[in-house]
Amino acid sequence: MPVSDADMVRAWTHVLSLSKLQPKQTVTILTSQNTHPQTLNTARIAATNMGATVNRLDLSPVNAELAHSRDSLAYLGTTPLTGNHAAIAALKKSDLVLDLMTLLFSPEQAEILEGGTKILLAVEPPEVLVRMLPSIEDKTRVGKAAAMLQGAKEMRVTSKAGTDLRLPMGEFPVIQEYGFVDEPGRWDHWPSGFSLTFPNEAQASGRVVLDRGDILLPMKSYVTTPIEMTVERGYVTSITGDLDADLLNDYMAAFDDKEAYAISHIGWGQQTRARWSTLGLYDREETIGMDARAFAGNFLFSMGPNNEAGGSRTTACHIDIPMRNCTVLLDNREVVRDGRLLPLEQAA
Ligand code: FE
């Protein structure tokens, strides 16, 4: 459904206010060929109206010859900023970067944040942005979950389909994604609504059974035939099943990189305005699947890099797998039961 420019300007003003944008601060809008023109124009209007100095930095896309889809998360590691010191300098000198391009999992992003610059990623189409406009309540909910993750030593995930995964944790920081950037050096993604961390190196073990309706990203497909994965010493060591397993194996094999199979971020969705079914309504080209990642009660399993949290693993391949109907336990305390988000006050 189309969104009016007025509604988008209002949405940006809301998000920039939550992000504590002040008059005379410098905002740089990072764009590329995939940037949505309405998102760009309305961001510029909203930030200018708030008294900020607004720049646009437009960079040419890279990796087209390497990626297997048009999804901006389909090939990680190098970005248009790699080796582009002039562009990095401009972004480091900005108070706030609006990333309408996708810098995720890049060392340049970490370098920019270290200097105190905030980065807000926003690449979903306008109607998704306005439907999942972030709120203070989102931050509170995600913060409670993050506090529980912070103290836990193990995440365990089970399901009636056969998943039984043990994820020792504590080596990596907990990351909160609530959709705005209210502290210096903070990165976030509008829209979102989940918290996550990464399992300790080489310690995750067990079995993951993807059931019908679980989602594969960046494929943006619903699993129709079960996929069974064995996890040993932090890596997925086998992926078996029917057609969906064959498709996943073939995609991942193309990267020819054993690090692609490492367990990456782990967490669960907490966004009640995100829906499991939304992905089925969209062309694959039109979304990166944030409804799928954020819908309340999904266990978000993933494979690939851990440099986003300060780890040393970089790999171009990243697979996100929102799973339904799982039970998630932190040190034996349930936080999600059979795919339903438990109110954390009542979690027991
Ligand atoms: Fe991911």
CA 8–ligand 1 middle distance (angstroms): 26
Give the angle 88-22-121 at the CA atoms, nearest 5°.
45
Q: What does DSSP assign to residue 16?
A: H
CA 162–ligand 1 middle distance (angstroms): 23
CA 302–ligand 1 middle distance (angstroms): 6
CA 50–ligand 1 middle distance (angstroms): 32
Contacts of 205 (CB under 8 A, 6+ apart): 165, 166, 231, 232, 233, 234
What percentage of the chain reaches a pLDDT higher than 70?
A: 99
CA 295–ligand 1 middle distance (angstroms): 14
Q: What does DSSP assign to residue 343?
A: P
Of 273, 294, 291, nearest in space to 135 by CA: 273
Token code pair at residue 189:
């993604």
Residues 37-49 have a mean pLDDT of 98
- Parallel, antiparallel or unpaired: strands 266-269 and 299-303: antiparallel
pLDDT tens for 52-102 read: 999 999 999 999 999 998 888 889 978 999 999 999 999 999 999 999 999
CA 148–ligand 1 middle distance (angstroms): 20
Q: Report domain extents, the chain.
A: 5-131, 136-341
d(CA 73, CA 68): 10
Of 50, 49, 63, 55, nearest in space to 27 by CA: 55
**109: enclosing H helix or E strand:** helix 107-114
288 neighbors 310 (Cβ within 8 angstroms): no
d(CA 311, CA 24): 36
What percent helix, strand, coil does the chain show, rounded to 5? Answer: 25, 30, 45
CA 84–ligand 1 middle distance (angstroms): 25
CA 22–ligand 1 middle distance (angstroms): 31
pLDDT tens for 263-318 read: 999 999 999 999 999 999 999 989 999 999 999 999 999 999 998 888 999 999 99
CA 97–ligand 1 middle distance (angstroms): 21
- Parallel, antiparallel or unpaired: strands 175-177 and 299-303: unpaired
CA 3–ligand 1 middle distance (angstroms): 27
CA 52–ligand 1 middle distance (angstroms): 32
CA 103–ligand 1 middle distance (angstroms): 13
Residues 158-162 have a mean pLDDT of 98
pLDDT category of residue 348 using cuts at 50, 70 and 90: very low
d(CA 32, CA 147): 36
CA 318–ligand 1 middle distance (angstroms): 7
Region class of 336: left (phi > 0), else alpha (psi between -120 and 50), else beta: beta
30 neighbors 91 (Cβ within 8 angstroms): yes
Q: Tell me the CATH number for domain 5-131.
A: 3.40.50.2300
CA 270–ligand 1 middle distance (angstroms): 15
d(CA 291, CA 200): 27
Residue 346 pLDDT exceeds 70: no
d(CA 114, CA 56): 21
CA 218–ligand 1 middle distance (angstroms): 9
Helix (H, G, I), strand (E, B) or coil at 194: strand
CA 5–ligand 1 middle distance (angstroms): 30
Which residue is associated with the tokens 């023109």? Answer: 37
Token code pair at residue 198:
């990464």
d(CA 6, CA 46): 10
CA 6–ligand 1 middle distance (angstroms): 32
pLDDT tens for 228-239 read: 999 999 999 999
The answer to whether the predicted template modeling score (pTM) of the entire model surpasses 0.75 is yes
CA 261–ligand 1 middle distance (angstroms): 13
